[in-house]
Amino acid sequence: MTELYRGATEVELQAIKEIVALAMDAPAKAKSGHSGTAMALAPLGVTLFSRVLRHEPNDSSWIDRDRFILSCGHASILQYGLAHAFGYALSEDDLRGFRVPHSKTPGHPEVGETPTVEVTTGPLGQGFANGVGMVLAERLLRTQYGEPLMNHRTWVIAGDGCLEEGISHEAASFAGSQQLDRLTVIYDDNHITIDGPTELALRDDTVARFRAYGWHVVELGEHANDLNAIEAALLECVANTTQPSLVVLRSHIGFPSPEMVDRREAHGSPFTAEVISEAKGLLGVPDEPFTFDPGLPSRMNESLVRQHQEYEDWQERAQNNPEVSSTLVNQIRSNGALTQRVMIESYPPIAPVATRKAMQRAMDAVSGLMPGLTSGSADLTDNTGVVVKGTQAQGADHPGGQQIYYGIREFAMGAIMVGQALHGGIRPIGSTFFVFSDYVRPAIRLAALSGASTLFVFTHDSIGVGEDGPTHQPIEHLMSLRAMPRLHVVRPSDANETLRLVENLLSDSSMPATALVLSRQDLPVLAGAAEQASREHAHRGGYAVVEDPNAVITILATGSEVGISIAASEALAERGVATRVVALPCWACFEAQSMEYRQSVLRNDLPSLAVEAGATLGWYKYADEVIGIDRFGISAPAGYIFEEFGITAAAVVQRVQELLEAYQ
């Protein structure tokens, strides 16, 4: 056995053997899963958790723990095996329930389901970028509260797929530019993908690539089974205080199975009983599925002498600084939310105002009141209104800076935001033009899936972009994002509604992942009863902005089309046609309201017409007819395009009259 795993203590060796056996047994029982990577990386995982990682199994939510991310989430059984072996609250039955519905051991790691899982991983490369976000969060909090209370690292295990995905290029470049020295990524260089050898599609010089990004690189080579060599490499990364680090580890997928080592089938195919028996014979473990040493978790936990002492020392420092530690804990628990009401000057209903301009006014009001706020954009900071007043640009020279310049890296920006939010204590805002939400979408999806309190600000929300043309005019984007579960898509009716909704979002400690969609062009500012209705009910996702007891039809709209619909309503009133106008700024919020409230807003007893400068798909849930856009835009001034596509008050008047005639 010492020839298989060198440098291991007796208890570490037992942990490695159990994890390797588990990595075969669990997928075999589930008839699905990934054995080979978990088997090959068991020595790395045990070394990290036993000798290097700063953690406390008896308090898995300790705020100053090191963060561990398995970016190659298909190897989830490795993380589950480590959690059990080191005494976290994950039982043998939980391990037997691998991939069973509603178990604590799902097919890919899901945050909130399993101890040690910090982020939801699976789509390759995103865990890498989440790690960058976690290091950013730690650096900001460390600057605010000091090293005695905030002083930890983030460790990421990534595979070939993670480094092939484009997000790793974006995130690694950003991390190198930021000099995020408390980030260490261990690259599992096993040369195998599902299709076969990585050389089929990958011949990058990874070492040169990361050094070019400004990373410290350790070429560990053929030492995947040497615990002392792994420990030395990881500690070398800890000692580097100026750069993020990459450890390149040449492993052999499926090791120590003679039949499966270095084979592509070891990636995602459960092993046969014969293959498992042979490998267990080499390991010297019983040839029975799910054989555990019941005393291993307690012995492994007891071996963490240094880690337990670090935890106790931190607790003592926290007790000696009760005011500071209490503030930090509250900031972590509130997810960096705004904890006090602010006075934001409203816009008078005199001149039109773009809702993106209201975003900047809201930012000006909360700047200085939210120590957990970070805000930035993909090279569009001024355009999207996300400047943090009175702060510096985040960087190695200004680690407390709350303004983040992500560069033209939309996908990485989104995933880095998710990492910040799931770290705790940070409320990240990131922005770009709405059409480029396509580039952010995979990160938005994981933000929604993992419940990360992230605020994605998207401006230039429609054909109002104008002369930039169809490449920059979002058409299908609203419906595309509305289709995403758990994501709140918010398109305010005017500037003042934007102010109030932004404050509400930033004050909500349990804010869901949110896409705030704002206009480039100026919009009318609501006045009178319309403004009052917005003030009282916009947070509910839908409300009657114009109500008439004699109404014969309801016009529904969002965003810039609310003003158009109000103008149409006024024109129809002059013709003796009474109408209602309903604003639906957030469909998800509206659906969360009572049936009674929704029915009172929609008034299904009346015919209805929806108006939105985007795809019509989905609107028939609320309306009988829709004025929208189901083709790409054109390059022309915004006013011309709205006329071209019939998104005008006159066009709405005409369609209302046609609809009423059809209903007679």
E-assigned strands of 353-496? Answer: 373-377, 403-405, 427-433, 455-459, 488-490
- Please report which residue ranges of 104-247 form alpha helices under DSSP H: 126-145, 160-164, 166-178, 206-213, 227-239
DSSP lists the bridge partners of residue 546 as: 581
What b/e string do you get for 628-642 counting C-beta neighbours within 10 Å, with b at 16 or more?
A: bbeeebeeeebeebb
Q: How far apart are the first and last CA of the chain?
A: 86
Evaluate whether 659 touches 609 at the Cβ level (below 8 Å).
yes
Residues near 388 by Cβ (< 8 Å), separated by ≥ 6?
363, 367, 373, 374, 375, 402, 403
Q: Two tokens at 340? A: 């006090």
Distance (Å, rounded) from C-alpha 150 to C-alpha 139?
A: 8
71 phi-psi bin (left φ>0, alpha ψ -120 to 50, beta other):
alpha
| C-alpha closest to that of 154 among 110, 184, 179, 129 | 184
Evaluate whether 65 touches 56 at the Cβ level (below 8 Å).
yes
DSSP run (H or E) holding 220? strand 216-221
User: Which amino acid, residue 101?
Assistant: P
Question: Would you list the DSSP string of 290-334?
Answer: T---TTHHHHHHHT-HHHHHHHHHHHHHHHHSHHHHHHHHHHHHT
Cis amide leading into 256 (omega within 30): yes
| DSSP-based three-state secondary structure for 51 | helix
- Please report which residue ranges of 31-125 form alpha helices under DSSP H: 36-47, 76-85, 92-96
User: Which amino acid, residue 78?
Assistant: L
| DSSP-based three-state secondary structure for 53 | coil
Residues near 615 by Cβ (< 8 Å), separated by ≥ 6?
475, 476, 478, 479, 628, 629, 630
Q: Which of these is catalytic: 410, 497, 612, 625?
A: 410
Distance (Å, rounded) from C-alpha 181 to C-alpha 191?
A: 27
Distance (Å, rounded) from C-alpha 463 to C-alpha 639?
A: 9
410 tagged catalytic:
yes
Pairing of strands 553-557, 67-70: unpaired
Q: Two tokens at 458? A: 């998207």
| C-alpha closest to that of 46 among 269, 295, 241, 296 | 296
Distance (Å, rounded) from C-alpha 642 to C-alpha 568?
A: 14
Q: Which residue has the tokens 């900047």?
A: 360
Active site residues: 410
